[in-house]
């Protein structure tokens, strides 16, 4: 029973990461024709095992804050106007983020069901 | 949830920009034979609110295509000068059609992403409803 809250936290973290990534991709798609815009993406979701550096004070610059980070995609060809958004690729990445979100929510929901069953409620 | 509402704002700004672009293309095509008409274009740039980029886009002022207008020989035309020439428009239909296709494609991508984000937020809501 003690493992249950951990899996909820994990599922919520994965869902939040997918939502953040989807927001980054939405920005790319909206800027598909903005001159000089560089496409961005986020690193895949990873579990914080307690050893990752973290920011304990908001005025510290380095380390991971609560806000997710995105990075500029470098190995992509750019248009003559400096825009590096490839629409097909972005739609595919969006689909991937949506699937990750689905998966996280499914895990969350079935854990919830499991917990309810354990409590004898349906 | 804030990511979703941000994404909605960004995507709708994208759709607004693309549809404005498409409207100018329609105006250009309608005026392809209007004497003295210059091709209109809008420029996209990153939207800035309170010194911070929102991620969305906004359109710059409408720009008219510079350069020479083609001189067309038609002595019967009411606007023809003494030598029988009048100035046409500098709209090129092929360019407009290609531009329209690109605008439509970008608009559809925005709409697709909008649908996807909407579906994700609905699913999140469904968990809350249980």
User: What's the pLDDT at B130?
Assistant: 73
Residue B120 has pLDDT above 70, yes or no: yes
User: What's the pLDDT at A50?
Assistant: 66
Nearest to A23 among B6, B105, B127 (CB): B6
Residue B22 has pLDDT above 50, yes or no: yes
Cβ within 8 Å of residue B21, ≥6 positions away:
A33, B41, B42, B44, B59, B99, B103
User: What's the pLDDT at B62?
Assistant: 92
User: What's the pLDDT at B9?
Assistant: 92
Instruction: Specify the higher pLDDT residue, B127 or A53.
Output: B127
Contacts of A91 in chain B (CB under 8 A): 109, 112-113
Is B44 part of the contact surface with chain A (CB cutoff 8 Å)? yes
Average pLDDT of the residues in B54-72: 89
Residue B5 has pLDDT above 70, yes or no: yes
Which structure tokens are listed for A57? 């004070």
Q: B109 vs A18: CB contact, 8 Å cut-off?
A: no
User: What's the pLDDT at B1?
Assistant: 65
Nearest to A87 among B7, B103, B105 (CB): B105
Q: Are A29 and B109 in contact (CB under 8 A)?
A: yes
Residue B52 banded pLDDT, cuts 50, 70, 90: confident
User: What's the pLDDT at A63?
Assistant: 46
Sign of CA dihedral A23, A19, A96, B101: negative
Residue B85 has pLDDT above 50, yes or no: yes
Instruction: Compute the half-sphere exposure of residue B69: CA atoms within 13 Å on the CB side of its CA.
Output: 17
Q: State the ipTM, two decimals.
A: 0.83
Give pLDDT < 50 ranges for chain A: 63-66
Q: What share of chain B has pLDDT > 90, as a percent?
A: 63
Q: B10 vs A15: CB contact, 8 Å cut-off?
A: no
Residue B48 banded pLDDT, cuts 50, 70, 90: confident
Tokens 């496409």 map to which residue? A39
User: What's the pLDDT at A26?
Assistant: 94
Q: What is the mean pLDDT of chain B?
A: 91
Residue B21 has pLDDT above 50, yes or no: yes
Q: Structure pTM? A: 0.83
Nearest to A23 among B7, B18, B43 (CB): B7
Helix count and strand count (H, E) for chain B: 2, 6
User: What's the pLDDT at B112?
Assistant: 94
């Amino acid at each position: 029973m003690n493992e249950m809250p951990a899996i909820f936290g994990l599922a919520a973290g994965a869902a939040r990461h997918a939502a953040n990534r989807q927001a980054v991709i939405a920005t790319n798609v909206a800027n598909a024709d903005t001159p000089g815009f560089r496409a961005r993406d986020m690193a895949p979701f990873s579990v914080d095992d307690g050893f990752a550096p973290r920011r304990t004070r908001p005025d510290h610059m380095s380390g991971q804050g609560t806000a997710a980070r995105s990075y500029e995609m470098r190995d992509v060809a750019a248009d003559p106007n400096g825009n590096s958004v490839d629409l097909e690729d972005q739609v595919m990445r969006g689909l991937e983020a949506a699937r990750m979100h689905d998966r996280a929510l499914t895990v969350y929901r079935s854990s919830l069901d499991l917990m309810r069953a354990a409590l004898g409620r349906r | 949830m804030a990511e979703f509402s941000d994404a909605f704002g960004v995507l709708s700004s994208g759709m607004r920009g693309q549809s404005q672009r498409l409207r100018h293309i329609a105006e250009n095509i309608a005026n392809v034979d209007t004497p003295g008409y210059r091709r209109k274009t809008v420029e996209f740039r990153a939207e800035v609110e309170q010194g911070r980029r929102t991620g969305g886009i906004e359109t710059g002022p409408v720009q008219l295509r510079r350069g020479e207008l083609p001189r067309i020989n038609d002595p019967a035309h009411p606007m023809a000068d003494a030598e029988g020439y009048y100035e046409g428009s500098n709209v090129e239909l092929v360019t407009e059609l290609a531009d329209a296709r690109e605008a439509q494609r970008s608009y559809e991508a925005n709409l697709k992403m909008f649908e996807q984000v909407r579906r994700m937020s609905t699913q999140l809501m469904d968990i809350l409803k249980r």
